[in-house]
Amino acid sequence: MLPCEVLDAEQVADLGFDPSTADFEDVGVIYACSYTVAPLETPLLSINIRVDRALDELNLTDYNLTEYQVGPLRALLITDDREPNKCQISMELGESAHATVVVSFTESREEACESAERVAGVLEPELPREAR
């Protein structure tokens, strides 16, 4: 599943981002789609889907972690003291897969996390699940 195809244009717009700014990256470990609120504007939304790495395999040594739940999915809310305007929610999709939502370049961490929570809530029912 391509990260830019998980949400339709209306869902992206309803979340406050411009669907025409979709930018797909497939470089090394990055398999993500990024959106902004308007061309060359911030904040930035990134949706990343990894089918080769479990949630518990992420290297989060220098980050702040909070166990989290998005719908039925186990998740982690992740912040970094070095980046106060960024918030990440990574959701477990199976034993070797996860999806991540990152919102950055906002006015505050609270704003980034509120936006990431909204996106994760809309994204969760659309995500593929790994068979168990």
How confident is the model over 27-51, as pLDDT tens digits? Answer: 776 789 999 998 888 899 999 998 8
Tokens matching residue 67: 């166990």
Alpha-carbon span 84 to 98, nearest angstrom: 24
Residue 48 in any domain: the answer is yes
| Residue 8, helix vs strand vs coil | coil
Q: Structure tokens of 77?
A: 């809310």
Q: Note whether residue 77 is domain-resident.
A: yes
Token representation of residue 49: 């889907």
User: 23-37, 57-71, 80-94: which has the minimum mean pLDDT?
Assistant: 23-37
Question: Does residue 118 lie in a domain region?
Answer: no
Q: Is residue 45 part of a domain?
A: yes
Give 92's contacts (C-beta < 8 A, 6+ positions apart). Answer: 54, 55, 73, 74, 75, 98
Q: Please determine, for residue 87, whether its predicted confidence score (pLDDT) is greater than 60.
A: yes
User: The tokens of 60 are what?
Assistant: 């989060």
Confidence at 130, pLDDT banded by 50, 70, 90: low
Cα within 13 Å of Cα(14), Cβ side: 10
Whether residue 131 has pLDDT greater than 60: no
The token pair that represents 97 in the structure block: 């897969």
pLDDT of residue 45: 95
Question: Does residue 60 form part of some domain?
Answer: yes
Prior bond to 43 cis, omega within 30?
A: yes
pLDDT of residue 105: 94
Provide mean pLDDT across the span 22-31: 83
Asked whether residue 62 is assigned to any structural domain, the reply reads: yes
Residue 34 lies in a domain: no
* 1 in any annotated domain: no
Q: What is the pLDDT of residue 77?
A: 97
For residues 108 and 124, what is the distance between their CA atoms, to the nearest angstrom?
24
Domain that holds residue 54: 41-108
Q: Is the pLDDT of residue 23 over 70?
A: yes
| Domain count within the chain | 1
Instruction: Tell whether the model's pLDDT for residue 20 goes beyond 70.
Output: yes
Residue 36: its pLDDT value, please? 93
Question: Mean pLDDT of all residues in the chain?
Answer: 92
Please give the Cα distance from 53 to 132 (Å, whole number): 15
Six-digit token string for 22: 């979709």
The predicted structure's pLDDT at residue 132: 47
